[in-house]
């Protein structure tokens, strides 16, 4: 059975090394627990092009969660 490569992607920074710290001291998700979370399956085709399965569904859920918590929701373009 082959191994699966894992990547860490951070909004506004893109893909970062898995060992690179990505949390800052003023992160309200860390200090107060504010945040919305979702995970997505990413598929890479034979040409190396990656895509998120059901991306619009994921973005809809994140927008609804952010609205419920009254926290800023990045635009769809920022997510993409």
pLDDT for position 4: 67
Q: What ranges make up the beta strands (E) of 6-45?
A: 8-10, 14-16, 42-44
pLDDT one-digit tens code per residue, 9-68: 887 788 888 888 888 788 777 787 777 888 889 999 999 899 999 999 999 999 998 898
Compute the half-sphere exposure of residue 28: CA atoms within 13 Å on the CB side of its CA: 6
Under 8 Å between Cβ of 14 and 20: no
pLDDT for position 59: 93
pLDDT for position 36: 82
| Residue 28: both structure tokens together | 């309200």
Share of the chain residues as helix, strand and coil, in percent rounded to the nearest 5: 30, 15, 55
| Residue 48: both structure tokens together | 């190396």
């Amino acid at each position: 059975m082959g191994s699966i490569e894992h990547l860490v992607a951070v909004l506004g920074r893109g893909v970062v090394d898995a060992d690179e710290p990505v949390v800052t001291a003023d992160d309200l998700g860390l200090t107060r627990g504010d945040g919305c979370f979702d995970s997505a399956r990413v598929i890479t085709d034979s040409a190396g092009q990656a895509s998120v399965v059901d991306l619009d569904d994921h973005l809809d859920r994140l927008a609804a969660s952010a609205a419920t918590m009254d926290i800023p929701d990045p635009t769809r373009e920022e997510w993409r």
